[in-house]
Amino acid sequence: MTLVQLRYLIAIADSGLNITLAAERVHATQPGLSKQLRQLEDELGFQLFARKGKSLDTITRAGEQVIERARSILAEAANIRAIAADLRNQAHGELRIATTHTQARFALPAAIAALNASYPQVRVHLQPTRDADVLAQLQAGHVDLAVISTAGAAPAAGIALPAYHWRRVIVTPHGHPLAARDQPPSLAELASLPLVSYESSLKAESSLRHAFDAIGLTPQIAMTAGDADLIKTYVRAGLGVGVLAEMAMQDGDRDLHTLSAEHLFPVCTTWIVLRRDSVLREYMLEFIQQFAPHLDRRDVARLLANDAADVHWPRIPPWREREGVAATA
Amino acid sequence: MTLVQLRYLIAIADSGLNITLAAERVHATQPGLSKQLRQLEDELGFQLFARKGKSLDTITRAGEQVIERARSILAEAANIRAIAADLRNQAHGELRIATTHTQARFALPAAIAALNASYPQVRVHLQPTRDADVLAQLQAGHVDLAVISTAGAAPAAGIALPAYHWRRVIVTPHGHPLAARDQPPSLAELASLPLVSYESSLKAESSLRHAFDAIGLTPQIAMTAGDADLIKTYVRAGLGVGVLAEMAMQDGDRDLHTLSAEHLFPVCTTWIVLRRDSVLREYMLEFIQQFAPHLDRRDVARLLANDAADVHWPRIPPWREREGVAATA
DNA sequence: CGCGTTTACGTCGTTCGTAACGATA
DNA sequence: TATCGTTACGAACGACGTAAACGCG
C-alpha cells in the first residue's frame, strides 16, 4: 500500500469508476492506474470494485470502507504539506470554496477581493455546487471550506463557524399592490400570491416551507431558480412576488420595491464550515477573518488544533451591519 | 512523501530519536532510515528534528505537528489492512492491550482465556504500562485497546465502553483488631491506621485521597505498590491495613480478613477504551464481548463506524455478578 | 575508541509510459 | 467500431544494503 495507490483509488472513485478519466486527472497514464489498483487489490486480498466484464461496475462494500479511510489518509497528507508550505511562508496556493450561488454572488466578493489584495498569489476557486451538495464537497476533500446557510442550528458536518445572520426580504415591482401599502404583508396574505424564490425553498425541510406549514397554508411557488438574479428578473417581469435573501438586494435594484419579512420567517445564519482536523494555511485564516471579522483568528486556529469546545464566539453580527463592506464589491 | 517515510519518522520519534534503534525496530538498515528522513525533510522544506552535531536532539515544533498527522495516517493505513484481514476471515492476528496491573492480573485472564479458546491463532500482548500512561499508549497507536478504571466519568480520550463497576475492600490479617469487630470501620478510623495501597492512591486526583480530603483528614499511607499481590503480601506481614480492589481478593486469600468499604469510597468503573476511528478485527469484538458481555456487539461496531452517540448502553453490571466467571481463571 | 550518523556505491526491484491486444456495447 | 481496460516490454528511477568515512563524547 502506498500513498500513490490510495490517490489513484480516490481518483477512480471520484471519476465515476472511469480509469481513463481518473488517469487524466492525476496526470498519469491509464495502464499505470490500472496496474496500481490491481496491486492494491492483490495486497489487500479482495476487490475494491466489482467488475462487469472488464469495466468497473460498482464499489464493493469493503471498498467503500477502504475509500473512506483513504480519503482521510490523503487529507492528512495534504495537511502535512500545508504545514510545510505555511512554514516556508509561501504566499501562493489555492483556496477552494464550495458554496451556494447567493453567497458567491453577494456575500463572498468583498472577502475574496480583500484576500486577493493581501495574497495576490493565491488562486481562489469557487466550486459551483448545488445547495444540497455543498457539505458533501467538503467531506470528500474537494474543497478547503464551505460557506452555507441554515435557519437554525449549525450544520452537523465538520466544524461550523458562524459568519453572520441574515433575513429574507419580499420584493415586488414598484406598481405592485403590496408596494403601495404602508405595512408589510402577513404570511396568509403571502400564501395567496404567486411567489418566486430559490429552488431549495421547494424542499420540505426549508425554513420557508416550515413557516407556511406552521399556519397550515401552502405557498404558491410560481417559479424557482438557484440564482437571486434570475429571481429578480422574473419579479420584474411580473411573474410573482420575490422572496429572497436581503443581501441579494443591491444598489442596482432600486427599480424593485423591498419589504421586510422579518416578522414572517426565522433568521438565517451563514456558516463557514471546515473539515475536522484540517490544517489551515495562513491565507485561509485571512479569508475567514475578512469574511467574518468578529471571529478571532487565534480562536479559529485553536478550535481546529484541539477540537476543543472551549472557545466561545462573540455575538454574530447581522448582515446589515456589514452592508457597507459588501456594497463595495 | 511516502507511507514508508512516515513509518520511519514515527519509528524514530518512538525510539527516542535514535535512528539506529528505530532501524532495528522496523527491520531496516540505519542508513536507509537516515536517508528517508532526510528526503522527507527536503520535500517538506524544514527540519523535523533539531540536530546537535550529527545526532538528533529534539523534535521541532513543526515536527510535532507532522508526527501527529503521520500517526493518524499510519493508524488509518492499519485500519485498511485490518478491514482486509478481517474480510479474508483470517483468524490470526495480534491483540495488544494496555492496562493496569490489577486488571491484567484479576479481571482480564478469563476473557483472554475465552478469546484464546475461540481464536487460538491470536497472540495477545499485554503491554506493561504505568497507570498514568495507559491512555497515552492507546493514543500513540501502540495498542489496540486500553482497559482502565475511573471513579467517575469516562476517560476523556477515545471511545470508552463501560465494562463493569467495582468497589474497594479493606483487608487485614485475621488477628487484626478491625477483623474482630462486627462492623466495618469509618473513614476517620481508617485515617488513624497505617495503610497499604496502590501507588496511584498517592496522587492528589485519586478517589481514595478525595474521600479522605472530604472529611479533612490525611491517610497515613505506610507503603504503596503497583501490584495487588504485593499489597496483600505486606498486609500479611503486618505492615498495615490493605485498601484494594474487590476483584483482587481470590480464593487463595482466605488467610486475610476482608471488610466491605462500600460506604467509604465511591464506586469505580472499569472501561474499555478504543481509539476513535479504529477498525476492530472480529476477534477484538469477541474479546470485548467476553470481557463485557452486557455490551451488544453490533452496538460497539456501530459506535465506531458512525461515531454516533445514538447507542445506549445497558446497565453496567457490578463485579460481584461476574465473580463466578472471574474465579474460573 | 565506541557510538551514532552521514556519504558513497552497486544491485535490485518497481514504476512508468508506449504500444499492442482484448473485450464490451 | 468506438470505448475502455489489460497485457507486454523497455527505459529510468529509486530504495535498499554493504562498506567506509566522519564527529562527538
Q: Work out the number of other CB atoms within 10 angstroms of the CB of residue B291.
A: 26
Query: How far is CA B191 from each of CA B180, B223, B225, B245, B267, rounded to the nearest angstrom?
Result: 18, 14, 19, 18, 19
Chain A environment of B73 (Cβ under 8 Å):
73, 76-77
Cα separation, A270 vs A318, in Å, equals 10
Chain B environment of A66 (Cβ under 8 Å):
80, 83-84
The pair phi, psi for residue B275, each rounded to 5°, is -65, 135
pTM here is 0.81
Cα separation, A139 vs A143, in Å, equals 8
Predicted confidence at residue B324, as pLDDT, reads 43
> Residue A3 in contact with residue A77, Cβ under 8 Å?
yes
Predicted confidence at residue B326, as pLDDT, reads 38
Q: Is the CB of A52 under 7 A from strand D?
A: no
Q: Which nucleotide is nearest to A51 (CA to C1')?
A: D5
The residue whose grid cell reads 504500562 is B129
Cα separation, B104 vs B99, in Å, equals 7
Predicted confidence at residue B118, as pLDDT, reads 93
User: Which DSSP letter does residue A106 get?
Assistant: I
Residue B230: strand, helix, or coil: helix
Averages of pLDDT over each 10 residues, chain B, 329 residues: 93 90 90 91 90 85 92 94 87 91 92 93 89 89 93 86 93 88 87 91 85 90 89 91 92 91 91 91 94 90 72 78 47
Predicted confidence at residue A329, as pLDDT, reads 31
How does strand A194-198 pair with strand A159-166? unpaired
Q: Work out the number of other CB atoms within 10 angstroms of the CB of residue A45.
A: 13
> Residue B179 in contact with residue B213, Cβ under 8 Å?
no
- Cβ-defined contact of B65 to A83 (cutoff 8 Å): yes
The pair phi, psi for residue A137, each rounded to 5°, is -60, -40
- Cβ-defined contact of A70 to B80 (cutoff 8 Å): yes
Predicted confidence at residue B307, as pLDDT, reads 61
User: Which DSSP letter does residue B205 get?
Assistant: T
User: Which DSSP letter does residue A318 get?
Assistant: B
- Cβ-defined contact of B1 to A79 (cutoff 8 Å): no
Write a three-state SS string for B167-204: CEEEEEECCCHHHHCCCCCCHHHHHCCEEEEEHHHHCC
**Does 3.40.190.10 match the CATH number of domain B168-260?**
yes
Predicted confidence at residue A68, as pLDDT, reads 92
Is residue B49 within a helix (H) or strand (E), and if so which, with residue range?
Answer: strand B49-52
Predicted confidence at residue B311, as pLDDT, reads 64
Predicted confidence at residue A308, as pLDDT, reads 58
Separation of B81 CA and C18 C1' (Å)? 34
Cα separation, A222 vs A241, in Å, equals 9
Chain A residues interacting with chain B (CB cutoff of 8 angstroms): 1-3, 43-46, 62, 65-66, 69-70, 72-73, 76-77, 79-81, 83-84, 87-88, 277, 279
The pair phi, psi for residue B149, each rounded to 5°, is -110, 150
Nucleotides of C under 7 A from a protein CB: 4-8, 15-20, 22-25
Of B301, B269, B270, B273, nearest to B285 by C-alpha is B301
Q: Report the phi/psi class of residue B216: left, alpha or beta, with left for phi > 0 and alpha for psi in -120 to 50.
A: left
Cα angle B143, B73, B86 (rounded to 5 degrees) comes to 60
Of B118, B12, B112, nearest to B66 by C-alpha is B12
Here the cell at position B248 is 483482587
Residue B160: strand, helix, or coil: strand
Q: Please give chain A's pLDDT, 329 residues, in tens.
A: 999 999 999 999 999 999 999 999 899 999 989 999 999 998 998 989 988 888 888 898 889 999 999 999 999 999 999 999 988 877 788 999 999 999 999 999 999 999 999 999 999 999 878 888 899 999 888 999 999 999 888 888 888 999 999 999 999 998 888 888 878 899 999 999 999 999 888 888 888 888 999 999 989 999 998 889 999 999 999 999 999 999 999 988 999 999 999 889 999 999 999 998 889 999 999 999 999 999 988 888 888 876 655 566 778 888 877 744 433 33
Cα separation, A112 vs A97, in Å, equals 11
Here the cell at position A50 is 466489482
> Residue A31 in contact with residue A38, Cβ under 8 Å?
no
Cα angle A98, A236, A180 (rounded to 5 degrees) comes to 120
Predicted confidence at residue A326, as pLDDT, reads 37
Report which of residues 53-92 in chain B place their beta carbon less than 7 angstroms from any atom of strand D. 53-54
- Cβ-defined contact of A76 to B79 (cutoff 8 Å): no
> Residue A155 in contact with residue A251, Cβ under 8 Å?
no
Smallest Cα–C1' distance to nucleotide D16: which residue has it?
B32
Chain B residues interacting with chain A (CB cutoff of 8 angstroms): 1-3, 43-46, 62, 65-66, 69-70, 72-73, 76-77, 79-81, 83-85, 87-88, 277, 279
Separation of A80 CA and C4 C1' (Å)? 29
Predicted confidence at residue A156, as pLDDT, reads 85
CA atoms within 13 A on the CB side of A192: 5
Predicted confidence at residue A7, as pLDDT, reads 94
Cα separation, A190 vs A217, in Å, equals 10
Predicted confidence at residue A90, as pLDDT, reads 75
- Cβ-defined contact of B84 to A2 (cutoff 8 Å): no
C-beta pairs of A31-38 under 8 Å, 24+ apart in sequence: A32/A8, A33/A8, A36/A4, A36/A5, A36/A8, A37/A5, A37/A8, A37/A9, A37/A12
Of B152, B227, B236, B167, nearest to B197 by C-alpha is B227
Predicted confidence at residue B308, as pLDDT, reads 57
> Residue B209 in contact with residue B220, Cβ under 8 Å?
no
Instruction: Give the gap in angstroms from C-alpha A75 to the nearest C-alpha of chain B.
Output: 9
Q: Is the dihedral of CA A54, A59, A61, A62 positive or negative?
A: positive
Of A73, A58, A263, A289, nearest to B80 by C-alpha is A73
> Residue A268 in contact with residue A277, Cβ under 8 Å?
no
Chain A environment of B79 (Cβ under 8 Å):
69
Of B170, B187, B188, nearest to B231 by C-alpha is B170
Question: Can you name the CATH fold of B3-85?
Answer: Arc Repressor Mutant, subunit A (1.10.10)
Chain A environment of B77 (Cβ under 8 Å):
1, 69, 73
CATH class of B92-159+271-323: alpha beta
Q: Is the CB of A18 under 7 A from strand D?
A: yes
Closest partner CB to B77 (pick from A73, A80, A88):
A73
Nucleotides of D under 7 A from a protein CB: 4-8, 15-20, 22-25
Q: Do domains A92-159+271-323 and A168-260 have the same CATH topology?
A: yes
Domain ranges of chain A: 3-85, 92-159+271-323, 168-260
B232-270 burial: b if 16+ Cβ within 10 Å, else e = bebbeeeebbbbbbbbbbeeebeebbbbebeebbeebbb
